[in-house]
Amino acid sequence: MGAEVKTTCPYCGVGCGVIAKVDETGTVTVKGDPEHPANFGRLCSKGSALAETIDLDGRLLHPEIKGRQASWDEALDLVASRFCEIIAQHGPESVAFYVSGQLLTEDYYVANKLMKGFIGAANIDTNSRLCMSSSVAGHRRAFGSDTVPGLYEDLELADLVILTGSNLAWCHPVIYQRLAAAKAARPGLKIVVIDPRRTMTCDIADLHLAIRPDGDVALFMGLLAHLAASSAIDQNYIGAYTEGFGAAFAAAAALTSDEVLDRTGLPAMQVREFFRLFETTEKVVTCYSQGVNQSASGTDKVNAIINCHLATGRIGRPGTGPFSLTGQPNAMGGREVGGLANMLAAHMAIESAGDRDRVQRFWNAPSIAAKPGLKAVDLFGAVEEGRVKALWIMATNPVVSLPDARRVEAAIAACPFVVVSDMVRETDTTQHADVLLPSLGWGEKDGTVTNSERRISRQRPFLTLPGEARADWWQMAEVGRRMGFTACDYTSPADIFAEHAALSAFENDGDRDFDIGAYADIQQPVYDALEPFQWPQPYGTEARETRFFSDGGFFHPDRKARFVAVEAPATDRTDAAYPFTLNTGRIRDQWHTMTRTGKSARLSSHIAEPFAEIHPRDAMELGVADAALVQIESSYGKAIIRALVTDRQARGSVFVPMHWSDQNSAEARIGAVIKPATDPVSGQPASKNVAVAVSRYRAA
């Protein structure tokens, strides 16, 4: 029998440990790693099916230029020369990278360094913009840094767990399993689910608040006002460790009870019960995910939640705190290395001249991006307008996943030079590439990822590298070298990780949360044997208290947290032409645009085709029977999808999963319907509250 290799699941942000084994016949088996602190041996359906998704069918195995096979030298020379030409003619802002939470931290580090330090612009953004950028912005406003205070064990230690905008059962299944087990062992643990839909997560809920989309800000403002009125706030904590309570409270108190009920759409009795539970429970964890983040008021939602935890001092202690659950396997790792257009590496700020100078000196870079770059939606807008003339897309499929997807597709198709690095030959995006570069997949990649609780784990290779596929970091380092940048001369992921760790500690006077300086001198054997660990881990520490804010110190210059005075937005975006609200999300057994999970017959048997959940009375009024086709239309585009009539869905709304593309089923791409509206602070697209028309589909 072959040796067992410990690695990490490549799907969601839970970051479960996986043990993979290849036998003499080449058959791969996987099981959960009982020693990994994220999952303790558990896996969900997607993780359990990993071995069914790693065959070479459909793989991109060789570089291609305009559809013909090319050598690596020819392809890399072309990419480097076209980027150099375009930069020489139009400046560094005329090129962009669009990367992915699927990249390993080492890939992300090189992409960020090449763009921000050597090309000298900040036009590198990521599909993680669609995932958790509102949480990043909310953390930075409240804490002075993008610091996630929560640990998974907090859900098990809490007496009240609030899940808002999170279908944990389907989207973070192993955390759901841990929470369900904790509740089974300790029935006194109360769970509140705040979600417009009655999802599978509600199966373990004591209270389900079927809130209106975007009603969360009003609900948590109402909670803050209630806590203050009930003398349930912690004046000592507020006085010692925070600033800005007065303004946040004034904003919350100005919202009347009737306005809270109106914006949330909730019965007064349920709101009172929720407020009572929060007020009377000392150990409270509030988890939030895409239902909070993917909103035009996403950052305010995050801060409205954090305000309530700061007001009660319920943060920094076991079983307490606000907790953002990241969607992607390495959204967190991307944040650590500045893989967003508005961040520098190691949680340093691109707006800070001191931080820019520090990073530039550390990299010995000829330049450094002087201002934030284009965030995802604006980046593709700049491609459409011709301001971005060379685009390198890595490990993502924006033609399906971005809002206003058909316009994104047209913009990419018209872009003068498009490079796509991917492991899959035929995606909706690869067909528009001038140059295709074959990348490694799970089981082949070598590097690290960071999960939602800041735990860094290794992804280790155990498969033979297919065809000529190479790591993403290698592709970028080679292009950088051919553009004349020797600082990208790495020989291994361990080299990159060591540099990343050294930068995190470089001239850190304690003003940075992300510090893994203990690994700045890491050598290959130690990197190979690296056990999962949580940041921070500064130089000279073996193991350290990993709970942030336990001493009441935050990362603003005065070490105090900030309350944010938020505004409750209008929640109803419908009108006479578009009277329904479209909500989008994931299903249990598929991942993103299905390029990998779609290979497993077992996973596809859960739900085989796209569906539009609609309430029975709405279906009746529209004359739509269960399984009939409906047309969902906005002013941006339309999709034709089979109806799933269910009272889990609120009246006046439809839910459609985001996975399917036109490749799977004609006109199934729901991204084509979504308006490209974004949160004004974070730039995250609002994909869960879109005004649409719904009608019975009649073929022409």
Least separation in angstroms between residue 175's CB and ligand SF4 is: 7
Closest CA to 588 of 10, 7, 8, 11: 11
Which one, 11 or 527, has the nearer CB to ligand SF4?
A: 11
Residues 143-182 that bind ligand SF4 (CB under 6 A): 172-174
Which one, 174 or 350, has the nearer CB to ligand SF4?
A: 174
CA–CA gap between residue 96 and residue 84 (Å, rounded): 13
Phi, psi of 535 (to 5 degrees): -85, 155
Residues 246-265 that bind ligand SF4 (CB under 6 A): none
Least separation in angstroms between residue 44's CB and ligand SF4 is: 3
Which of 6, 9, 163, 313 is close enough to bind ligand SF4 by CB under 6 A?
A: 9
Least separation in angstroms between residue 569's CB and ligand SF4 is: 31
Which one, 152 or 363, has the nearer CB to ligand SF4?
A: 152
Say which residue the tokens 């090189």 belong to.
Answer: 110
Which one, 326 or 439, has the nearer CB to ligand SF4?
A: 326
Which of 6, 7, 12, 372 is close enough to bind ligand SF4 by CB under 6 A?
A: 12
Which one, 14 or 223, has the nearer CB to ligand SF4?
A: 14
Residue 311 sits in the site that holds ligand SF4 (CB under 6 A): no
CA–CA gap between residue 690 and residue 160 (Å, rounded): 31
Least separation in angstroms between residue 15's CB and ligand SF4 is: 6
Which one, 33 or 513, has the nearer CB to ligand SF4?
A: 33
Residue 43 sits in the site that holds ligand SF4 (CB under 6 A): yes
Least separation in angstroms between residue 233's CB and ligand SF4 is: 36
Least separation in angstroms between residue 204's CB and ligand SF4 is: 16
Which one, 161 or 681, has the nearer CB to ligand SF4?
A: 161
DSSP string for residues in 631-656: EEE-SS-EEEEEEEE-TTSPTTEEEE
Which of 15, 215, 441, 585 is close enough to bind ligand SF4 by CB under 6 A?
A: 15
Identify which range of 44-52, 126-134, 202-210, 685-693 contacts ligand SF4 by CB under 6 A.
44-52
Closest CA to 214 of 103, 319, 122, 134: 134
566 Cβ contact partners less than 8 Å away, ≥ 6 residues apart = 217, 221, 248, 251, 297, 300, 303, 304, 307
Identify which range of 9-17, 419-427, 441-449, 507-515 contacts ligand SF4 by CB under 6 A.
9-17
CA 119, distance to chain mean position in Å, is: 26
Least separation in angstroms between residue 55's CB and ligand SF4 is: 19
Which one, 15 or 339, has the nearer CB to ligand SF4?
A: 15
Least separation in angstroms between residue 43's CB and ligand SF4 is: 4
CB atoms within 10 A of CB 525: 9
Both tokens of 518, joined, read: 């203990």
323 Cβ contact partners less than 8 Å away, ≥ 6 residues apart = 148, 149, 150, 154, 155, 285, 286, 287, 288, 452
Which of 44, 228, 285, 304 is close enough to bind ligand SF4 by CB under 6 A?
A: 44
Q: Give the number of residues in contact with ligand SF4, rule: CB under 6 A.
A: 14
Phi, psi of 97 (to 5 degrees): -115, 135
User: Residues of 466-478 as b/e, b for ≥16 C-beta within 10 angstroms?
Assistant: beebbbbbbbbbb
Least separation in angstroms between residue 163's CB and ligand SF4 is: 15
Least separation in angstroms between residue 262's CB and ligand SF4 is: 37
Which one, 492 or 604, has the nearer CB to ligand SF4?
A: 604
Which one, 172 or 547, has the nearer CB to ligand SF4?
A: 172
Least separation in angstroms between residue 599's CB and ligand SF4 is: 15
Tell me which residue has its CB nearest to ligand SF4: 47
CA–CA gap between residue 604 and residue 390 (Å, rounded): 36
Least separation in angstroms between residue 39's CB and ligand SF4 is: 6
Least separation in angstroms between residue 591's CB and ligand SF4 is: 7
Which one, 172 or 212, has the nearer CB to ligand SF4?
A: 172
Indicate the SS3 state at residue 561.
Answer: strand
Which of 6, 46, 358, 659 is close enough to bind ligand SF4 by CB under 6 A?
A: 46
315 Cβ contact partners less than 8 Å away, ≥ 6 residues apart = 149, 306, 309, 321, 322, 549
Least separation in angstroms between residue 8's CB and ligand SF4 is: 8
CA 526 to each of CA 137, 177, 458, 544: distance values in angstroms, whole numbers, following the listed order: 34, 32, 12, 19
CA 657 to each of CA 202, 292, 644, 661: distance values in angstroms, whole numbers, following the listed order: 18, 17, 12, 11
Which one, 463 or 674, has the nearer CB to ligand SF4?
A: 463
CA–CA gap between residue 240 and residue 237 (Å, rounded): 5
Identify which range of 42-50, 121-129, 264-272, 336-344 contacts ligand SF4 by CB under 6 A.
42-50
CB atoms within 10 A of CB 542: 6
Identify which range of 41-49, 52-60, 499-507, 613-621 contacts ligand SF4 by CB under 6 A.
41-49
Size (the chain), residues: 700
Is residue 147 within 8 Å of 139, Cβ to Cβ? Answer: yes
**Amino acid (one-letter) located at 674:** I
By DSSP bridging, strand 435-438 and strand 64-65 are: antiparallel
Q: Whole-angstrom distance between the N-terminal and C-terminal Cα of the chain?
A: 59
Helix 376-384 to helix 405-414 angle (10° resolution) is 50
Residue 117 sits in the site that holds ligand SF4 (CB under 6 A): no
Residue 14 sits in the site that holds ligand SF4 (CB under 6 A): yes
CB atoms within 10 A of CB 361: 12
Which of 37, 47, 316, 398 is close enough to bind ligand SF4 by CB under 6 A?
A: 47
Identify which range of 8-16, 285-293, 554-562, 644-652 contacts ligand SF4 by CB under 6 A.
8-16
577 burial class (0-12, 13-18, 19+ CB within 10 angstroms)? exposed
Which one, 32 or 222, has the nearer CB to ligand SF4?
A: 32
13 Cβ contact partners less than 8 Å away, ≥ 6 residues apart = 172, 325, 326, 327, 328, 329, 331, 332, 451, 452
Residue 16 sits in the site that holds ligand SF4 (CB under 6 A): yes
Least separation in angstroms between residue 529's CB and ligand SF4 is: 22
Positions touching ligand SF4 (CB under 6 A) are 9, 11-12, 14-16, 39, 43-44, 46-47, 172-174
